[in-house]
Amino acid sequence: MLNPHNTEICIIGAGPAGATLSHFLSKQKIEHTLVDKATFPRDKICGDGITIDVLNVLKRINPELLEEFAAQPEMLESWGFCFHGSNGKELRYDFSKDGFPYPPFFTSRRIDLDNFLVQRLNPAYCNFLSGNTVKSIARVEDGLEILSQSALGGTLIKAKMIVGAEGEKPVVTKALGLPHFREKKNLIGGIRVYYKNVKGFNEGNHLEFFFDKKLLPGYFWAFPLGNGMANVGLGMVSTEIAKRKVNLKKMFEQMLTEHPRVSNMFAEAEPMEKPKGWGLPLITPKRIIAGKNYALIGDAAGMIEPFTGKGIGPGMMSARICSEHLAEALKTKNYDLTSYQQHMYRYYNSEIRAGYGLQKSLKYPMALNTVVGLFNTGALKNWSHQKMVKEWKNWM
């Protein structure tokens, strides 16, 4: 027997984007249902880098939530980042002396970050159905019907609008018969491995990016985590993987053993798991992310920045912006959410252009090395440093 449930909005997926949307809807006192096939805590393949836009979103939800986040022992403070050119030169930025109330970056395993957000959902407005797999989604005269199944039985959810936050695997788009945008030039293939005993990280726990000739256009990363762990991986644009018939796992091993700087860092390191691969869908206005009674956020909407591959921040920001349009839709009773899509692509217009431009530059090692060298000069590095500080303080 099915358990009937009526709600204003049904969110599919309780990762950072879906959970963030729930927090904003609760803040606006909008009742909603959040469905996820997993029970938390659970792991999710990711680079685990948390950027300034995440802190901005947490503060917008509630300044106390940001304070609580920063105080969690699982959230490791990171005070800078470094780009390592293919010629061995590096461009490092440190922000530890710039007067930030919080570091501009953190790192956290997704198992911890996602659980942090889920554990603080507001039950007064959020009906959280974890361990529930979506079996079907159907349009009906006044909205949608979502059938979910758990070990305890089925639930038939009736909602005015649905939001897909299920990640890169298409659940909402497939069920509604929508086109699932997937072009190799807008997709990055990546692998991740958790390690312990990685040596040589900056004392400020900087995020380390390595641009090696074999990897371009792509990069290898090593991000320090708490408890002596590190998130290590590499990513490359899918068109190049196919064109060059690249084996990412072999390339990963080559970086660990052959790259001068990386091999020193990993001389005593031990993997804690086998390499795990996933696809990173990049931001592109060609992707349709909203329409009548539905919207997509996070990875489901391709909210990943083209150059660095960051996705947690854009995903949570898409949730914040989507919440505004959902609230307006309920107020006006006009459930076409196309305005959210227009808003998102206006918001990220400059970042989309800059990200793809920088991504293209990775095809040319000399150009990348020139940029690294140029920005290492005193005046230009100081200007770029201060520009980031000014912009980020406004966000904080």
189/307 same-domain check = no
Q: What is the DSSP string of 383-395?
A: HHHHHHHHHHHHH
Same domain, 261 and 307: no
| Co-location of 15 and 78 in the same domain | no
Would the pLDDT of 362 be above 80?
Answer: no
- pLDDT, residue 180, reads 81
* Residue 25 pLDDT: 98
pLDDT in tens, 275-307: 999 999 999 988 999 999 999 999 999 999 998
Q: Do the beta carbons of residue 313 and residue 297 sit within 8 Å?
A: no
Which pLDDT does position 134 carry in this prediction? 97
Number of structural domains in the chain: 2
In a domain, 359, yes or no: no
Same structural domain, 168 and 220: no
pLDDT reading at 386 higher than 90: yes
Range of the domain at 130: 3-44+113-181+285-354
CATH number at residue 377: 3.30.9.10
Q: Do 211 and 229 share a domain, yes or no? A: yes
Kindly state whether residue 62 falls inside one of the protein's structural domains.
Answer: no
The confidence score (pLDDT) of residue 228 equals: 93
- If asked whether residues 201 and 170 sit together in one domain, one would say no
Whether residue 377 is contained in a domain is answered as yes
Summarize pLDDT for 64-120 with one digit per residue, the tens: 999 999 999 999 999 999 999 988 889 999 999 999 999 999 999 999 999 999 999
Q: What pLDDT band is residue 366 in, cutting at 50, 70 and 90?
A: confident
pLDDT computed for residue 51 by the predictor: 96
How many of the other CB atoms lie within 10 Å of CB of 365? 16
| One-letter amino acid of 286 | K
Q: Tell me if 308 is assigned to some domain.
A: yes
In a domain, 59, yes or no: no
Domain harbouring 159, CATH code: 3.50.50.60
Amino acid at 134: V
In angstroms, the CA 264 to CA 151 distance is 48
Among 45-54, 203-212, 331-340, 368-377, where is mean pLDDT lowest?
368-377
| Predicted TM-score of the model (pTM) | 0.96
Q: What is the distance between the alpha carbons of residues 111 and 194, in angstroms, rounded to a whole number?
A: 13
Q: Are residues 196 and 271 in the same domain?
A: yes
Same domain (yes/no): 377, 264: yes
175 and 123 within one domain: yes
CA–CA separation, 262 and 267 (whole Å) = 9
Range 253-267 average pLDDT:
96
- What's the pLDDT band for 30 if we cut at 50, 70, 90? very high
**130 conformational bin, left if phi > 0, alpha if psi -120 to 50, beta if neither:** beta
Q: Per residue in 146-203, pLDDT tens?
A: 999 999 999 999 999 999 999 988 899 999 988 888 888 889 999 999 999 999 999 9
Residue 62 CB contacts under 8 Å (≥ 6 apart), including other chains: 27
Shared domain for 199 and 271, answered yes or no, is yes
Cis? peptide before 41, omega within 30° of 0: yes
Q: Do 211 and 272 have their domain in common? A: yes
Q: Crossing angle, helix 365-375 and helix 378-395, to 10 degrees?
A: 80
pLDDT (0 to 100) of residue 78 = 98
Beta-bridge mates of residue 196: 229, 270
Give residue 385's pLDDT. Answer: 93
Nearest to 285 by CA among 306, 308, 316: 306
Report pLDDT for 11: 98
Q: Is residue 56 part of a domain?
A: no
- Give me the pLDDT at residue 243, please: 92
What is the distance between the alpha carbons of residues 297 and 57, in angstroms, rounded to a whole number? 14
Is residue 167 in some structural domain? yes
- Do 121 and 152 fall within a single domain? yes
Percentage of the chain lying above the pLDDT 70 cut: 100
Asked, for residue 68, whether it belongs to a domain, the answer is no
pLDDT tens readout for residues 126-141: 999 999 999 999 999 9
